Amino acid sequence: MAIKIVTDSSIQLTEAEIRDNDITVIPLTIMIDSTVYTDGETITREEFMTKMAASSALPKTSQPAIGTFLDTYSALTADGSQVLSIHMLEAISGTVNSARQAADMCTGSVTVVDCDFTDRAMAFQVLAAAKMAQAGKPLADILTRINEIRDHTTLVMGVSTLENLVKGGRLSKAAGFVSSLLNIKLILQVKDGQLTPLQKGRGMKTIHRFVDNHIEEMKKLPAAIQAIGVSYAGGLDLAQGVADKLKAAFPSVALLLRPTDPVIATHTGAGAFAITYFTD
């Protein structure tokens, strides 16, 4: 029985990776000043950053409708195939819950997984699942493998401005006001499906020092790093500098540098970046 892989548009994949691995990506929607856009279809990631900067209010993101999931699942399972649907962590979006409800309604076989991550960290699991599915591996083996990858994945991010975190309710307005005056930069980690602050400090020195220290920690890991991602919400120069340091430290490890999805950028604001990797 064939297994088909579904995910959502918060993932960090190239067009070639989506095409070559036969991955179905269900888009989220974004509303900017009363105009609704379909992620990756009617707005690009670069266009989103420009429109967000000019918007009068924080953009609103919405998970795909249950009906969209159900239609996709029904079409993919019509030939008797199974579906493995892998989605971003529940802590930042209701997408995985919409997928679960649709899976319950579908007459075909659908397994829904909360990968506990998003962006390139989610892609590590999705790519592994897709390659194993193409090789004819059973669902149980695929689930075991993506759980292993999840447990050995790290996602850390630097946030240059707290404005969107405050607007989105992630920080109190008072804390955000004081922090903006002090030029506070925030380091966060996604771990066990939750977004957790690691450290904060004044000025960009905080960001650069964290990157340098984290790369040194990566060098000491007992297991080999298999892949690295650097994603960013605007601020390409900063992200490129981070990527260059990682390439110098791990020249033989594949690294993907790309803008992040509007869902993530909405919460982090401009100038944010993330480092993702997993070990074997």
Question: What pLDDT is recorded for position 202?
Answer: 85
pTM comes to 0.93
Question: What pLDDT is recorded for position 162?
Answer: 59
**Residue 173 reports pLDDT greater than 50:** no
Question: What pLDDT is recorded for position 201?
Answer: 86
Q: Which residue has the higher pLDDT, 124 or 171?
A: 124
pLDDT in tens, 232-276: 999 899 999 999 999 999 999 999 999 999 988 988 888 999 999
Q: Residues 68-97: what's their mean pLDDT? A: 96
> Roughly how many angstroms between the first and final C-alpha of the chain, as a whole number?
28
Q: How far apart are CA 215 and CA 243, in angstroms?
A: 11
Other Cβ atoms closer than 10 A to 114: 18
**Residue 229 reports pLDDT greater than 60:** yes
Compute CA distances 193 → 25, 115, 244, whole Å. Answer: 21, 8, 28
Quickly state the pLDDT bin for 168 (edges 50, 70, 90). Answer: low
Question: What pLDDT is recorded for position 197?
Answer: 83
**Residue 167 reports pLDDT greater than 80:** no
Q: How far apart are CA 105 and CA 100, in angstroms?
A: 9
- Give the chain's mean pLDDT: 92
**Residue 170 reports pLDDT greater than 60:** no
Question: What pLDDT is recorded for position 177?
Answer: 47
Measuring CA to CA, which residue among 177, 185, 230 is closest to residue 205? 185
Question: What pLDDT is recorded for position 174?
Answer: 41
pLDDT in tens, 5-45: 999 999 999 999 999 999 999 999 999 999 999 999 999 99
